Amino acid sequence: MSRICQITGKRTMGGNNVSHANNRTKRKFHPNLFKKRFFLEEENRWINLKVSANGIRTITKNGLKSALKKAQAKGLIKTY
């Protein structure tokens, strides 16, 4: 699977390295991703997600079930 957060949808961005002489070369900015296990209390089971640091904050704030429903509505995850 590619480097995409399953909750927020953050993905790799492109940009430039800029040297002191203002030479520009292409580079990539990768999201801060973690493979993390979450316990889904409603179904009494563990799920594995690849989430960014911002995605973990979203889950903490809104709750796991709510975050999963929003991610499924966006098309970021099929089933959980």
pLDDT digits (tens, 9 = 90+) for 24-34: 999 999 999 99
What CATH number should be reported for the domain holding residue 61? 2.30.170.40
Within a domain: 44:
yes
Within a domain: 2:
no
Name every residue whose Cβ is closer than 8 Å to that of residue 39 and which is 6 or more positions away in sequence. 45, 46, 64
Task: Give the chain's residues under pLDDT 50.
Answer: none
**Domains: count for the chain:** 1
Q: What is the pLDDT of residue 1?
A: 55
- In this structure, what are the phi and psi dihedrals at residue 5, rounded to the nearest 5 degrees? -70, 130
Structural domain boundaries, residue 65: 13-74
Within a domain: 65:
yes
Within a domain: 3:
no
Q: What is the pLDDT of residue 2?
A: 87
